[in-house]
Amino acid sequence: MNLFADALTWLTDPANWGGASGIPARIGEHLWVSGLAVAIAAVIALPAGVLIGHTRRGVGAIGAFTGAARALPTLGVLTICALWFGIGLGAPLVALVVLAIPSLLAGAYSGVQAVPRETAEAARAIGMRQAQVIWQVEVPLALPVIVGGIRAAVLQVVATATLAAYTANLGLGRYLFAGLKTRDYGQMLGAAILVILLALALEIALAAIQRAVTTRLTPRAAAQPTTTATT
C-alpha cells in the first residue's frame, strides 16, 4: 500500500510535470517514438499484406513468418541492435518496427483475403482495372480488419516503447530505468501507471475509429460494384 502512496506522491508532485524531463515531455517522446516505429512498419507491411491478400499467394508462408516474428523477444532484438547500432534511437526504433510488422502484415493480408472473390470479379466485369479493384473495392472492404491490425500494433509498440530508454534518453521508460537504478519504486510504479493509462487511451480511441470504419466505409464499399454496374 505504501508503494502506491509513493507512486501517487510522485505523480502529483508539480516538479515532475515541468521542464524537458517532465512527464508531458516524456509522454510526447514516447508517442513520437511509437508513432515513428508504427509508421515505418506500416510502409513496409501494409502494401505487402494487401498484395499478398489480393493474389492469395504465399499466405501460408506469411502466416508462419508473422507467428515466428511475434515470438521474437523484443529485449533480445533490442540488445542485438544496440550492439550493432550503438547508443541512440536507432536500436529501439528497429526493435519496435520488427515488433509492429507482424500485426500490420496479418491485418492487411487477412482483411483483403477475406473479401469474396465474387466481389472482385464483379468489379472487373464492370471495367475496373486491377489497381482500382484493389484500392476501390478490396481495401475499403478490408479496412476494418486493417485498422484492427494497426490497433494491435500501436498498443504493442506503446507498451514496449519503454525499452527505448535502454539505449536512448527518451520516453516514459526513463523513469523506470532511473527508478530501478535509485531504488525509487514509487517512481517506477508511477511511470508504469502512466504507460498503462496511455495504452488505454489509445485503445479507446482506436476502437472508436475501428467501429466508425466498420459502420460507415464497409457498406459503401460493398455497394460500389453493384452501383457502378447498374449505372
**How much of the chain exceeds pLDDT 70, in percent?**
92
The predicted model gives 11-18 an average pLDDT of 90
Judged against a pLDDT cut of 60, whether residue 227 lies above it is answered with: no
Judged against a pLDDT cut of 80, whether residue 63 lies above it is answered with: no
Judged against a pLDDT cut of 60, whether residue 218 lies above it is answered with: no
Q: Dump pLDDT digits (tens) for 142-159.
A: 899 999 999 999 999 999
Q: Which of the two residues, 171 and 60, has the higher pLDDT score?
A: 171
Q: Which of the two residues, 53 and 218, has the higher pLDDT score?
A: 53
**What mean pLDDT is reported for the chain?**
85
Q: Residue 101: its pLDDT value, please?
A: 92
With contact defined as beta carbons under 8 Å apart, do 203 and 156 qualify? no
Q: Which of the two residues, 161 and 226, has the higher pLDDT score?
A: 161
Q: Residue 231: its pLDDT value, please?
A: 41
Q: Residue 41: its pLDDT value, please?
A: 95
- 46 CB-contact burial (10 Å; exposed 0-12 / middle 13-18 / buried 19+): buried
The predicted model gives 10-21 an average pLDDT of 88
The predicted model gives 4-17 an average pLDDT of 90
Judged against a pLDDT cut of 50, whether residue 59 lies above it is answered with: yes
Spatial distance between the Cα atoms of 38 and 193, rounded to a whole number of angstroms: 22
Could you tell me the domains of the chain? Answer: 21-230 (1.10.3720.10)
Contacts of 9 (CB under 8 A, 6+ apart): 186
Residue 92's CB is within 10 A of a number of other CB atoms, namely: 29
Please state the φ and ψ torsions of residue 12, each to the nearest 5 degrees.
-95, 5
With contact defined as beta carbons under 8 Å apart, do 33 and 170 qualify? yes
Q: Dump pLDDT digits (tens) for 195-213.
A: 999 999 999 999 999 999 8
Q: Residue 45: its pLDDT value, please?
A: 93
Judged against a pLDDT cut of 80, whether residue 25 lies above it is answered with: yes
**How much of the chain exceeds pLDDT 90, in percent?**
37
Judged against a pLDDT cut of 70, whether residue 29 lies above it is answered with: yes
Q: Dump pLDDT digits (tens) for 66-123.
A: 777 777 777 778 888 887 877 888 888 988 998 899 999 989 988 888 888 888 788 8
Residue 88 per-residue DSSP state: S
Angle at CA of residue 202, ends 201 and 207, nearest 5°? 105
The sign of the torsion formed by the CA atoms of 15, 21, 25, 30 equals negative
Q: Which of the two residues, 38 and 1, has the higher pLDDT score?
A: 38
